[in-house]
Amino acid sequence: MPPSPQVPPAGPVLLFDGDCGLCNRTVRLLLRWDRPGRLRFAPLQGELAQTYLRAHGLPDKDFDSLVWVPDWARRDRADFRLRTDGVIAALRAAGGLARILAAALAVFPRPWRDAGYRAVARSRYRLFGEWRPRPLARPEWQARFLD
Counting every residue written for the chain, the total comes to 147
Separation between Cα atoms, residue 116 and residue 132, nearest integer Å: 25
Per-position pLDDT tens, the chain of length 147: 343 345 557 899 999 999 999 999 999 999 999 999 999 999 999 999 999 999 999 988 877 789 999 999 999 999 999 999 999 999 999 999 999 999 999 999 999 999 999 999 888 888 888 888 777 888 888 999 997
So what's the pLDDT on residue 4? 35
Torsion on CA atoms 30, 36, 133, 129, rounded to nearest 10: 0
Separation between Cα atoms, residue 96 and residue 33, nearest integer Å: 7
Domain extents for the chain?
Answer: 13-139
| Neighbouring C-alpha atoms within 13 Å toward the C-beta of 47 | 2
pTM of this prediction? Answer: 0.89
H/E element, 127 = helix 110-128
Closest CA to 89 of 138, 54, 38: 38
Residues 6 or more apart in contact with residue 106 via CB below 8 angstroms: 88
Instruction: Fill in the DSSP letter of residue 130.
Output: B
| Neighbouring C-alpha atoms within 13 Å toward the C-beta of 72 | 21
So what's the pLDDT on residue 6? 53
